[in-house]
Amino acid sequence: MSVREIAEYLNMSVPWVYREAPRAGLVPYRFGSGRNAKLQFKVSDVHAWVKQQRMSAA
């Protein structure tokens, strides 16, 4: 998933994804280097993270 896709999926902002997702436990895959690097997230990782958040909140 791209940063924009994950932001829409989680109903969060794009800056939140860049800033907070790695801190929250979502591991991005970085393609390229520097400011032009493109971040991608595995769909299965995102679904597992969401499921884990639901379980820990309950």
**pLDDT score for 57:** 65
Residue 58 pLDDT: 57
**Cα distance between residue 36 and residue 58, in whole Å:** 39
SS3 call for 33: coil
2-57 pLDDT, tens digit each: 999 999 999 999 999 999 988 989 989 999 988 888 999 999 999 999 998 887 76
30, 37 Cβ separation under 8 angstroms: yes
* pTM for the full predicted model: 0.77
Q: State the Cα–Cα distance between residues 12 and 46, nearest whole angstrom.
A: 13
